Amino acid sequence: MYVLEEKIYFWLLVAIPLLLVFYIAVSLWRLRAQKKYAQKHQLPHLMPNKSWFKPLLKVVTISFGLSFIAFSLVNLKAGTRLETVNREGVDIVFAVDISKSMLAEDIAPNRLEKSQQLVTQIINNLASDRIGLIAYAGSAVPQLPITTDYGSAKLFLQGLSTDLVSSQGTAINEAIELALGYYGDDSEAAKVLVIISDGEDHEGDSVDLAEAAAEKGLHIITIGVGTQKGSNIPIRENGIVKSFKKNQNGKTVITKLNATTLQEIAEAGNGVYIDGTLTNEVIEKLKAELDTLDKVAFDSQQYADFESQFQWFLAIGLFFVVLDVFYLERKTGWIKKLNLFNE
């Protein structure tokens, strides 16, 4: 098990492409300057000791050095001991709407990214609950089974996109049906389904299914993402908005938050509806709702005694930096004596 403690230092890697651009710019400038005094084929005779390879080798060496130094500052830690701990919590499955309407930007940056941010912050505030992840649009697809591995959950969460499901729509009933199979039959922990959506449900039996799921012990909490005013759905190409989604009549589609549907599902599912506009309020209200549920103790394994591994990366990085000092821009003597090219 590995942990990256200071991920912000990965930004230092940006210096590598900048260094490469600088090297290319300087090389072109030198070439233009040299052409003022001699033609290209005459340069090797005018500067016989000049190495045309070593400047590039110096850039590569410095790049390797910067890379390893950046990794040392990130401070990778390795778990050295696996131990079993006693936890007490509930089983929570997050069902995230990934239909095209979630690309609407009536809530910044857009509904889908806001949903990802909400779930990430919720997970960060959990202590000992087990979590699972489902993505759904016109159909529902499992992403992560019930687990205590919060890191993997956030990794899968960031990979959600509207392209994961080919069939479009918002079939909340599909998410509820899939979630019912997530919880172990022998588990005594409270079962919670958190649905994050704009509420544009294109299936009519979601409320009835939520009521039936509640009878099986499932608590359904819904979080609405979007605004009552609504917004159009951008169609992007290479990150640029080219047009907006239109209906069969050629009119631009306006998608709005359907809080009523989400409220009805939450009420039928023995849960609550939460407005997803303010992240802190979502976390507080969700925590208050989870505190009303009975928590069950269970065992789980996790790594302990993490040890820093930065010294290995730092040593390699300093090796490349020091090695660069010994590179001279003239040809190496013994290689020159070999006269490989019979000059």
Please, which pLDDT band fits residue 306 given cuts at 50, 70 and 90? low
Starting at the edge strand found earlier in the chain, the sheet holding 296-308 runs: 2-4, 76-89, 296-308
For residue 341, the cross-strand partners are none
Between 330 and 104, name the one with better pLDDT.
104
Fill in the DSSP letter of residue 299: E
Between 202 and 198, name the one with better pLDDT.
198
Considering only CA atoms, which of 116, 6, 148, 153 is closest in space to residue 72? Answer: 6
Mean pLDDT of the region 294-301: 63
Percent of the chain with pLDDT over 90: 35
pLDDT the model gives residue 183: 84
Residues 326, 247: Cα–Cα separation, whole Å: 67
pLDDT the model gives residue 89: 80
Residues 248, 100: Cα–Cα separation, whole Å: 16
CA distances from 188 to 50, 128, 292, 298 (A): 76, 15, 16, 10
Please, which pLDDT band fits residue 332 given cuts at 50, 70 and 90? low
- Per-residue model confidence as pLDDT tens digits over 128-184: 788 999 999 888 999 999 988 888 899 899 999 988 887 777 789 999 999 998 887
Mean pLDDT of the region 23-34: 80
Lowest mean pLDDT among 128-132, 136-140, 250-254, 330-334: 330-334
Mean pLDDT of the region 54-76: 86
Between 298 and 156, name the one with better pLDDT.
156
Please, which pLDDT band fits residue 285 given cuts at 50, 70 and 90? very high
As a whole number of Å, the CA-based R_g of the chain is 29
Between 3 and 26, name the one with better pLDDT.
26
Residues 155, 123: Cα–Cα separation, whole Å: 12
Contact at 8 Å (CB) between 176 and 241? Answer: no
Mean pLDDT of the region 324-329: 72
Between 69 and 1, name the one with better pLDDT.
69
Phi/psi at 147 (5° precision): -155, 165
Percent of the chain with pLDDT over 70: 80
Mean pLDDT of the region 225-248: 82
pLDDT the model gives residue 32: 77
Judged against a pLDDT cut of 60, whether residue 343 lies above it is answered with no
Judged against a pLDDT cut of 70, whether residue 38 lies above it is answered with no
pTM for the whole thing? 0.64
pLDDT the model gives residue 226: 93
Please, which pLDDT band fits residue 202 given cuts at 50, 70 and 90? low
Considering only CA atoms, which of 121, 32, 100, 50 is closest in space to residue 245? Answer: 100
Contact at 8 Å (CB) between 224 and 199? Answer: yes
On average, the pLDDT of the chain sits at 82
CA distances from 208 to 107, 183, 192, 313 (A): 30, 20, 17, 57
Contact at 8 Å (CB) between 269 and 213? Answer: yes
Mean pLDDT of the region 81-102: 81
Strands 91-97, 130-136: pairing kind: parallel
Mean pLDDT of the region 285-311: 74
In order of start, what are the domains of the chain with their CATH numbers?
A: 2-75+309-338 (no CATH), 83-300 (3.40.50.410)
